[in-house]
Chain A
Amino acid sequence: MEDFEYLRHVTIGQYLPGSSLVHRMDPRAKMIILFLMAAAVTVNMSYTANIILLVVSVVYVLAARVSLRYILGGVKPVLPFMILLAAMQLLFYGNQFIGPNLQNVVLWKWWIVNVTTGSVQLVVISILRFLQLLLLASLLTNTTTTTELSHGVERLLRPLARIGVPAHELSLVATIALRFVPILAEQLETVAKAQASRGAELAGGGPLHLVQSARRLAVLIVPLFMDAFRRSEDLILAMEARCYLGGKNRTHLIELRYNGIDYAAIAANLVLAVWLIVYRNRFPF
């Protein structure tokens, strides 16, 4: 029966209740920090900067008392793909990549295989970046409830409402999306069981059978979409019947407030991110 439990292996986006400092922080502060750190990670290619960022990310996870093993457990299903990609980068990427302040030294050359210090650096940095962003992004979703997240998104987008970005509506879209994932997962399970009981082949089939895979997928996906549309129509009707109006004059049950720790954390991360971004090409190695 476990073939039908579709949401069993999902670790990201799971809220893990807790009372740590990170759990209690304002969701806006956490999102701003994720954004700053992601910007710093995206532009830095040196070993030094990436090790600093990795240490910082691990410290944040430890501060939130979220288990590192839990977060890293989610990597398992994509591990083979990651290893293959890393191997390709290592073997064939020798010429094009030169890190900041680095001479590209050839380590091993044979036929089209060309391993250089540059390609080694590329692989190591890719893995470090992946770990940093995995930790930071998981941390946000593991310590913040979906309600807090959607309030946070709305408040962060509010200044953009002046230039015509529908902040409230977008946060409602995000809330609906997150709310519907478990509903649709349950529906998917029902559809899968119904199709299996009719003798439909849901698993198996190799990578060589594209049309078969498509057909197998269609018996699940098409009913899923139909159900989703039907539910949408119901929700639209319900909201319009209640004269739903979003926007400026709507008030909230929970008002978000920054406190001292939020300001301190944002300031510290801002300084760190700006420092890493400005000095990204000046790290010795």
Chain B
Amino acid sequence: MQSGLSVRKIVISGVLGAIAILLGATRLGFIPVPFIVGDATIMHVPAIIGGILEGPIVGAIIGTIFGVFSFLQVGAPMFKDPLISILPRIPIGVTAFLAYAALKKRNEYLALIVSAIVGTFTNTLLVLGMAVLRGYLTPAVAGAIVLPFGSAEAVLAAIIVVAVVSAWKHLESGHGKSRI
């Protein structure tokens, strides 16, 4: 075994990273939300799912891919600042993993929902916090949009995370897929 990452972790990080890129590139990952400037995004969902399925390192790598892509992508000017677009994305998968690991024993579904919410708010709070620190938004504006933005994204993320993870885990046990 090599020192760093297992083949499984490398491949899952890469493929989920590709989904994050795809959601952004096709603008499929953006959902118009009532009364809010801009759209809610679900581009962070692959990072949450990666964290849940393969652990914090995979979550962090996918978050980084998402961040680098949102830096490279044409978007709002504040995302052209790497301190806003890349740095706050790294912990998404990590906090999602921690929430999932803490609640998994109690109830699988509860753990999935909570970890989607925790992962989403990690993203929202850190990005908006960084935007305030770097002078792109006033604390008042950021404070006003954090809750509607965060909760809309958290609802979307929770729906998708539960659907995807439960479908995949069911598939896995149902077909008795080989594991190496």
A interface residues with partner B (beta carbon < 8 Å): 6-7, 9-13, 38, 41-42, 74-75, 77-78, 81-82, 84-86, 88-89, 92-93, 96-97, 122, 126-127, 129-130, 132-134, 137-138, 141, 164, 166, 168-170, 172-181, 183-185, 188, 206-208, 210, 213-214, 217-218, 220-222, 224-226, 228-229, 231-233, 235-237, 239-240, 244-247
Contacts and interface: CB of A to CB of B under 8 A. Distances in A.
Contact of A217 (B12, B16, B160): B160
Given A210-B155, A213-B31, A236-B8, 14 more contacts: A6-B25, A7-B25, A12-B72, A42-B81, A77-B74, A78-B75, A86-B77, A126-B136, A179-B18, A181-B25, A210-B33, A218-B160, A244-B7, A247-B2
Contacts of A38: 82
B65 A177 contact: yes
Interface of B: 2-5, 7-8, 10-19, 21-23, 25-28, 31-34, 37-39, 42, 45, 49, 61, 65, 71-78, 80-83, 135-138, 140-141, 152, 155-156, 159-160, 163-164, 167-168, 171, 177-178, 180
5 nearest A-B pairs in the assembled complex, by CB-CB distance: A166-B4, A176-B14, A180-B18, A207-B32, A177-B17
A78 B180 contact: no
Question: Taking chain B's interface residues, is the majority helix, strand, or loop, or is none over half, making it mixed?
Answer: helix
A6 B26 contact: yes
B19 A225 contact: yes
A77 B4 contact: no
A218 B136 contact: no
Most buried by B among A13, A77, A133, A188: A133
Contacts of B82: 38, 42
Contact of B14 (A96, A138, A180, A237): A180
B2 A214 contact: no
Contacts of B38: 81, 84-85
